[in-house]
Structure 1
Amino acid sequence: MTLLEVWRTKAYGDQLSKEEQEKLWKDYFLVEKGIYEKLLADVSKVERGTVKELAEKYGTDIQTMTGFLDGISESLKQDIPTETMDENTEIVLEIDPEKLYYNMVEAKAEWLYGLEAWDHILSAERRKELYREQKQSGTIRKEVKVGRNDPCPCGSGKKYKYCCGRNA
């Protein structure tokens, strides 16, 4: 089993009781927040190391680091092999701040996109734009339908049913 499969089985599987799973996620979110606070302190710095080295650097275990890497993977400038990585896989954590903020909003992780560090990374205006973009991306908009007796959208002045709607 890969590290990611082990993490997902532990985090999403049914081998833990509800209380154990709640504790796992509560602990995970605290560790995650701490790692992000450190990473966001200087987003221009590129972190490198094996999964094991990164786990040690951020004071967590390899499984929790695997979950973190799975979560941040879509917000990095370089892909990381989350599906196949082991503890000796070299990881490059080069963050795309806008993607990261957008993905945090998408995950509804207010405790992360609300971190003070964002004040120094993205302007309040840009954060609002990204927040709005993400929220609108999930909104389904129905296309306005032309009624039979409405004026034809081609501009002929005729009713739709006698013009372009004739063949529809």
Structure 2
Amino acid sequence: MATLLENWRNAAYGNGMNKTEQEALWQKYFTLEKGFYEKVLSDPKKVYEGSVKELAEQFGIEEFIFVGILDGIDDSLAGFHNPIDSMESDTKVKIQVDPEKLYYNMVEAKASWLYDLPQWNDILTEERRKELYKEQKKSGTVRREGKKLYPNDLCHCGSGKKYKKCCMRKDEEREKELSANE
């Protein structure tokens, strides 16, 4: 029997849905993900604990999509990891973010809709956010799920546009702005 994470990855990355269904899933995911981070960032020191099912309900996100969010946030947690690969509905998980790791990882994922959230203004100074942004950009090629993201690939944000016509442009504009402010 497949784990929750295997079911999520099969659907999200190609084995379970056609292209239209997959794009719709990602659009829904990105909307719910943004709401999740808005809530978590409103009190970044808060620790959320419970089963996968309980926390999904608490955040108002269906369990199937919540597993994808847990997979995405696991490297940004404060000093611990959840049992992502073996999670089931009743698996106990804990969420407490490390704001600097989270911001860095959002930049790495080119998730401008997340690293530009206004909640960051109360968590990290603008100067620190710029430092983390530059630090990540100097770290090398951006990869998504172990796969390099090329300019002609569909953008990871789910817009349906090519990466070069969507988030790649936004990130290049942001880099120019940061360089101009140096």
The reply to whether TM is greater than 0.5 is yes
What's the TM-score, normalizing by structure 1?
Answer: 0.81
Residue equivalent to 1:71: 72
Deviation by residue 1:45-80 (Cα, 9 ceiling, x = unmatched): 111111000110111111101000000000002111
Q: How does 1:59-138 map to 2 (within 5 A)?
A: 59-77=60-78, 78-138=80-140
The Cα shift of 1:81 comes to 0.5
Residue equivalent to 2:41: 40
Q: Percent sequence identity over matched residues?
A: 57
Question: Which of 14-23 and 87-96 deviates more?
Answer: 14-23
**Alignment gaps of 5+ in structure 1:** 140-168
Q: For residue 67 of structure 1, what is the amino acid of its counterpart?
A: G
The Cα shift of 1:14 comes to 3.3
Note the aligned Cα RMSD (angstroms). Answer: 0.9
Q: For residue 70 of structure 1, what is the amino acid of its counterpart?
A: D
Secondary structure of 1:49 counterpart? strand
The Cα shift of 1:126 comes to 0.1
**Alignment gaps of 5+ in structure 2:** 142-182
The Cα shift of 1:125 comes to 0.1
Equivalent pairs counted in the alignment come to 139
Q: Which runs of 4+ in 1 moved over 3 A?
A: none
The Cα shift of 1:13 comes to 2.0
Q: Name the larger-Rg structure.
A: 1
